[in-house]
Amino acid sequence: MIFFQPRTLGVAVAAALSSLTSMSALAQQAPASAAAVQSSEAEATLGLVSVSSKRLDSARNALSPDTGSSIYNFNSDDIARLPLGDATPMNQVLLQVPGVVQDSFGQLHVRGDHSNLQYRINGVVVPEAISGFGQMLDTRFANEINVLTGALPAQYGLRTAGIVDIHTKGAATDEDDQPRPFGGEVGTVLGSNGRREVNTQLQGTVDRLSYYLSGTWGESNLGIENPTAQRSAIHDHTRQTRSFGMLSYLLDPDSRVSFMFGSSNGHFQIPTRPGLDPQYMLAGAVPPLSQDLNANQSEKTDFQILSYQRKVSPQLDYQVSLFNRSSRTQYVPDSVGDLVYNGVAANIARTNTAYGLQTDASYKLDAAHTLRGGLFVQRERYGVNNQSTVFPADSNGAQTSDVPIGIVDNAHGSGSTIGVYLQDEWKLSDNLTFNYGARYDKVNTIVSEQQLSPRLGVTYDWSPRTRFHAGYARYFTPPP
């Protein structure tokens, strides 16, 4: 696989007339002084933004502890060392974690658990999307990826097989690690099975506003795992686009507002297998060859997160976030082929919209105790539109007619989820830390359930490279 990443080249040419040097110096002395003042003010503002942003980043990251759990960290250097660097699909990055495997549909399993992963961006939960073949998030915008498993602290609930906590890239910086107004790159990936991808990143800081934008456009002839032993899959083309953006505005040295947004769109051909025999008869139709079936699936997900973060004092930090996510998946069958080979042709569209509020706060009681608490509230609407064509059958399932009938099986609903937690991180010594707390969750969707979940965790740092950890956690996992 080949990875190209063009660099930006700049050429500047300047000329001045010596006969006008003295006049130019006199004429421009005053404007130059004004420009120098403006430049000095701009540099001071950028310096304030840089220092404050790093301090707020550190405070935000401190809101999420990992005491007692197993944590696997991928920093920017780790990601860069992967064969495709930050063009590596997110699933392929997570497969580096022990206990993580991927099935033929591209879904991840952690320690044998089916899906049940929770994704967070800068500490904010991204509501779960409808499962599909495509990936919602790119590795490209991640500066650091932490994967937490095992006995998780009370802060983490609902989806607990694994927590994927992504810290985003910041604004572009120069050689002295100072913000600059604009930076970016364009890359392309070419690979086997007709894989072609173009990606871009733009980032910078203008006054108090920092921004980061990324986008990926790609296609491949191996969208889903090949069901045959042949090298090239049949009817397995995919087109996918993903985008992410973050805008961060520094209100003052101790607070900022951030807006994150992202989208993913995917179209997948459903791969076929040659040489299969039709299982059913359809009146007035000639059964197509099994390799000529034309079933497809489309997937679309969008999310937005608005966050306000403030460092009230050296002891108190908090972040309040509003989020929204919409997801849609539609399967379009081969109206004849699905009937004669499977006995049913179902056009299924699934939709889900979720919005809500998340708050997290941290208060340092003293040198040994740090108290953390938070609230998660989500409201969602979901629906399934299922229009199926099937053959009549007897009580034994045998076909009784070659004239199909239509069945409409639609379902819609709504529900809510509430979670609240409180925990204390007790630092018994420089090497020994004890975390204890509890979490309460209540779900009212297709079921109505609630649970109080105690959490305990302890870590002991034997050396800078060796840590022992143990924990106890009771989990509450609602239906997907």
What are the pLDDT digits (tens) for 205-262? Answer: 998 899 999 999 999 999 998 999 888 999 999 999 999 999 999 999 999 999 999 9
In the chain, what percentage of residues exceed pLDDT 90? 62
Q: Please report the pLDDT score of residue 17 as a whole number.
A: 31
Q: Has residue 174 got a pLDDT over 80?
A: no
HSE value, Cβ hemisphere, 13 Å, CA-based, for 417 = 22
Note whether 181 and 50 are within 8 A (CB): no
Report the distance separating Cα 273 and Cα 434, nearest Å: 55
Alpha-helical regions (H) of 62-152:
76-80, 90-94
Q: Has residue 106 got a pLDDT over 80?
A: no
Note whether 374 and 410 are within 8 A (CB): no
HSE value, Cβ hemisphere, 13 Å, CA-based, for 347 = 10
134 compared with 341, residue with greater pLDDT: 341
Lowest mean pLDDT among 100-109, 278-287, 316-325, 382-391: 100-109
On average, the pLDDT of the chain sits at 85
Note whether 468 and 454 are within 8 A (CB): no
Report the distance separating Cα 131 and Cα 426, nearest Å: 39
Mean pLDDT to the nearest integer, 388-400: 91
Q: Please report the pLDDT score of residue 21 as a whole number.
A: 38
Report the distance separating Cα 295 and Cα 165, nearest Å: 35
Report the distance separating Cα 155 and Cα 441, nearest Å: 11
Report the distance separating Cα 305 and Cα 125, nearest Å: 9
pLDDT digit string, tens, across residues 264-288: 999 999 999 999 999 999 998 899 9
pLDDT digit string, tens, across residues 21-41: 333 443 444 454 544 445 455
396 compared with 9, residue with greater pLDDT: 396
Q: Has residue 177 got a pLDDT over 90?
A: no
Tokens of 158: 């609902």
pLDDT band at 388 (very low <50, low <70, confident <90, very high): very high
SS3 310: strand
E strand or H helix at 23, and its extent? helix 21-27
Q: What is the DSSP letter of 59?
A: H
Q: Has residue 354 got a pLDDT over 90?
A: yes
Q: Please report the pLDDT score of residue 401 as a whole number.
A: 92
Q: Please report the pLDDT score of residue 315 as a whole number.
A: 92
What is the CB neighbour count within 10 angstroms for residue 145? 23
Closest C-alpha to 375, from 444, 439, 452 = 439
Mean pLDDT to the nearest integer, 135-146: 91
Lowest mean pLDDT among 41-45, 67-71, 352-356, 458-462: 41-45
Q: Has residue 6 got a pLDDT over 90?
A: no
3 compared with 70, residue with greater pLDDT: 70
Report the distance separating Cα 340 and Cα 344, nearest Å: 8
Closest C-alpha to 334, from 282, 384, 392 = 282
Distances (CA, A) of 125 to 91, 181, 223: 18, 30, 28
Tokens of 117: 């992963």
Q: Has residue 15 got a pLDDT over 80?
A: no
In the chain, what percentage of residues exceed pLDDT 70? 84
Q: Has residue 173 got a pLDDT over 60?
A: yes
Q: Please report the pLDDT score of residue 55 as a whole number.
A: 63
Q: What is the pTM of this model?
A: 0.84
Q: Has residue 167 got a pLDDT over 90?
A: yes
Q: Has residue 458 got a pLDDT over 60?
A: yes
Q: For the chain, what is the largest distance between any 2 Cα atoms, rounded to a whole number of angstroms?
A: 103
Q: Has residue 3 got a pLDDT over 90?
A: no
E strand or H helix at 166, and its extent? strand 162-168
Which residues does 178 contact at the CB level (< 8 Å), separation at least 6? Answer: 46, 47, 50
Q: Please report the pLDDT score of residue 63 as a whole number.
A: 62
Chain centroid, CA 292 distance in Å: 35
Q: What is the CATH code of the structural domain delimited by 41-473? A: 2.40.170
Q: Please report the pLDDT score of residue 16 as a whole number.
A: 34
65 compared with 398, residue with greater pLDDT: 398
Note whether 233 and 226 are within 8 A (CB): yes
Which residues does 285 contact at the CB level (< 8 Å), separation at least 6? Answer: 336, 340
Q: Please report the pLDDT score of residue 48 as a whole number.
A: 53
| Domain ranges for the chain | 41-473
Closest C-alpha to 60, from 256, 244, 250, 246 = 256
pLDDT band at 360 (very low <50, low <70, confident <90, very high): very high
